[in-house]
Structure 1
């Protein structure tokens, strides 16, 4: 009887979530192909300056650097086009120019302009497939389980480029966030899977203000607007249509 009840609750939760999505209460973005997941076209100043927009691929950088390097040390905002990245700044060693200096990676020379200023999102699919075959698979995003790849030492992205000796904080607190709907199990947030990639300041206090000591306002409608978890988990980290990844109780019922 208990097993039948659990199965029924799981079915009802699934139907509820499906109905909400199909009913357009929650509009989930349609994910691009795996080799294009996380790709960006940056055009805050390029078109105004008479140049083609810049193409940026997350997966080509993720094997070399953690999210923390770009979004904490180098000052890139999490939202595309919020950071004003100019040619002068790059040539002075800021933003992309920190690594694209002609030594670590190709530099911002006239000959290399077209390598980034493509005007559209495009990537070497064959190189992606070659990488994908070497890393743990998953059924979402890039089709690569980046966290597991990091834990197994299959990739060794730099945690810091300014202080190579710096290591991620040893913090493994797990949070249980109760859902507003009675038939939806709590969301679980595990710090241990995030701290190897991010700095505390990436999330606190701007995205998650821990001084308020409340999570009751972390509603899905806000997340799908790109707030809270949605800052990353819409088009770069694993997508939100994989409900059981955050609400593990859904698959256990």
Structure 2
């Protein structure tokens, strides 16, 4: 097929994928490094589509156009209306105080357990039943620098044992293969 024959079908596809006019000047994804959870990937194009391509709603009122000049903001400050929290307040958009996984990455967390079998904690499985605040930061600090906990400590209600007590969820004592790769 000659290149000129490709142009018409490609032009017909353009309306199916709307891209704001600013797209030529700005990158879609802005990556915000977050030590505790990993990077947040902010989509300019998605937000521009929702805001009617009005960059000035955020720049330079909430954010400096030069990302290096933006201060670090805590989740508590966002919940008080700063940064993302100016819109993500449960009135204009989903709130920053719940559904953390909508912005922050979740991943499977692997624990090496010699002699018994490794454990893989599934955020996906647990997020289908619980919110992030049910475990973070009360039971676990985000970021993986939590102290190791023995099975005996879990049986006393620490770590996984806070829920896996045999009443709220299956208990940590008993069926080892429910968690450990054996």
| Length-normalised TM-score, structure 1 | 0.30
| Length-normalised TM-score, structure 2 | 0.41
Answer 1 or 2: higher relative contact order, Cα 8 Å, separation at least 6: 1
Larger Rg: 2
